[in-house]
Amino acid sequence: MASPNREELYRMALTAAKKGQRKPAKVMLQQLISQDEKHFRAMMLMAKISGPTERRKWLNHILSIDPDYDDALDALEQMAYQSAARRNKMIYRYGLVLGAVVIFLFAVLIIVSAAATPI
């Protein structure tokens, strides 16, 4: 039996990735990338099924080969946007908690002051 050509191997990796079979998909994609160092679709799929650190590595690798590769640029921009959104959400939550603490302390100060003032 002949080994699959690059397009067949890519389709097999894509099918495995869609089924959640990341390890086999990554093995096939690695094989593809070793055969063709500019197989951007394979690298983009590798980035898509990887964690954030590895995803960023793959996207930057693509851009090191082709600085104008729009899909990689868009994916990095999306990652930056999501990271900023998470950070802003955390800051907002801490701000709410801090605001509640300040209001509580101010209310306690008023109550203590009122209790200490003779009638």
Whether 34 shows a pLDDT value over 80: the answer reads yes
Whether 117 shows a pLDDT value over 90: the answer reads no
- How many C-beta atoms surround the C-beta of residue 67 within 10 A? 9
Residue whose tokens read 């959400």: 89
Output the pLDDT for position 3.
67
**pLDDT (mean) for 1-18:** 88
pLDDT tens digit string along 59-91?
A: 999 999 999 999 999 999 999 999 899 899 999
In percent, how much of the chain has pLDDT > 70? 97
Output the pLDDT for position 119.
65
pLDDT tens digit string along 12-22?
A: 999 999 999 99
Domains and CATH numbers, the chain: 6-116 (1.25.40.10)
Query: Hey, what are 29's tokens?
Result: 């994609």
CA distances from 30 to 27, 34, 40, 65, 80 (A): 5, 6, 12, 17, 26
Query: Hey, what are 83's tokens?
Result: 């990271």
Burial of 20 (0-12, 13-18, 19+ CB in 10 A): exposed
Return the SS3 of 20: coil
Residue 20: which region, alpha, beta or left (left: phi > 0; alpha: psi -120 to 50)? left
Output the pLDDT for position 16.
97
Signed CA dihedral, 36, 40, 45, 47: sign only: positive
> Which residue has better confidence, 63 or 114?
63
Residues 51, 58: Cα–Cα separation, whole Å: 11
